[in-house]
Amino acid sequence: MLHSLNLGWCDNVGDLGVTSLAYGCPDLKCLDLCGCVRITDDNVIALASGCLHLRSIGLYYCRNITDRAMYSLAYSRVKNKASIWQPMKGRYDEEGLRSLNISQCTALTPLAVQALCDTFPALHTCFGRHSLVMNGCLNLTSVHCACAVQSHRTLNSILHTAH
Is the CB of residue 60 less than 8 Å from the CB of residue 101? Answer: yes
Q: pLDDT per residue over 94-122, tens digit each?
A: 579 999 999 999 999 999 999 999 999 99
Q: Please give the span between the terminal C-alpha atoms of the chain, in angstroms, as a whole number.
A: 59
Q: Which CATH code fits 4-162?
A: 3.80.10
Number of residues in the chain: 163
Is the CB of residue 123 less than 8 Å from the CB of residue 132? Answer: yes
> Looking at residue 158, what is its pLDDT?
53
Task: State the burial class of residue 4 (Cβ atoms within 10 Å of its Cβ: 0-12, 13-18, 19+).
Answer: exposed
> Looking at residue 130, what is its pLDDT?
84
Q: pLDDT per residue over 5-57, tens digit each?
A: 999 999 999 999 999 999 999 999 999 999 999 999 999 999 999 999 999 99
CA 91 – CA 72 distance, rounded (Å): 20
Q: What is the 3-state secondary structure (H, E, C) of 32-99?
A: ECCCCCCCCHHHHHHHHHHCCCCCEEECCCCCCCCHHHHHHHHHHHHHCHHHHHCCCCCHHHHCCCCE
Q: pLDDT per residue over 137-154, tens digit each?
A: 999 999 998 887 655 445
CA 157 – CA 94 distance, rounded (Å): 31
Q: pLDDT per residue over 64-83, tens digit each?
A: 999 999 999 999 877 665 54
CA 69 – CA 86 distance, rounded (Å): 26
> Looking at residue 12, what is its pLDDT?
94
CA 137 – CA 131 distance, rounded (Å): 15
Compare 160 and 93 and report the one with higher pLDDT.
160
> Looking at residue 3, what is its pLDDT?
97
Q: Angle CA(119)–CA(30)–CA(102) in degrees, nearest 5? A: 60
CA of residue 42 relative to chain centroid, distance: 15
- Tell me: pLDDT of 93 over 90: no
